[in-house]
Amino acid sequence: MGNTITLAVVYFIAIILLLAFNELNYRRLNVSGEITRKFAHFTATIAVVPFPYIFESHWYVLVLAVIFFIGLLVTQFAKQLKSIHDIKRKSMGSYMLPLSIYLTFLISDLRDDKFLFILPMLILGISDPMAAIVGMSLKKNNHKIQLFGIKTKKSLFGSATFFITSFVISLIALYFNRDVFDLKTFWLALLVAIVGTISELVSWRGSDNLTIPLSVAIVLMIFH
Domain borders along the chain are 2-223
- pLDDT value of position 89: 60
Give the pLDDT band (50/70/90) at residue 188.
Answer: very high
Whether 147 has a pLDDT exceeding 70, the answer reads: no
**Between 13 and 144, whose confidence is greater?**
13
**Predicted local confidence at residue 64, as pLDDT:** 87
User: Mean pLDDT across the chain, nearest whole number?
Assistant: 83
Separation of alpha carbons 128 and 131, rounded Å: 5
Quick check: 67 pLDDT over 90? Answer: no
Mean predicted confidence (pLDDT) in 44-55: 90
CB 166 within 8 A of CB 197: yes
Look at phi and psi of residue 206 and say left if phi exceeds 0, alpha if psi is from -120 to 50, else beta. left
- Backbone φ and ψ for 65, nearest 5 degrees, come out as -65, -45
Least confident of 21-35, 118-132, 199-213: 21-35
Of 20-24, 57-61, 130-134, 193-197, the least confident: 20-24
Q: Reply yes or no on whether the pLDDT at 204 is more than 80.
A: no
Question: Residue 154 in 3-state DSSP?
Answer: strand
Mean pLDDT, residues 129-134: 84
Q: Phi/psi at 147 (nearest 5 deg)?
A: -120, 120
pTM: 0.88
The model's confidence at residue 18, banded by pLDDT at 50, 70 and 90, is confident
DSSP bridge pairs for 151: 146
Predicted confidence at residue 168, as pLDDT, reads 96
The pLDDT tens digits of the residues spanning 85-130 come to 566 666 676 778 889 999 999 999 999 999 999 999 999 999 988 8
- Asked whether residue 1 carries a pLDDT value surpassing 60, the answer given is no
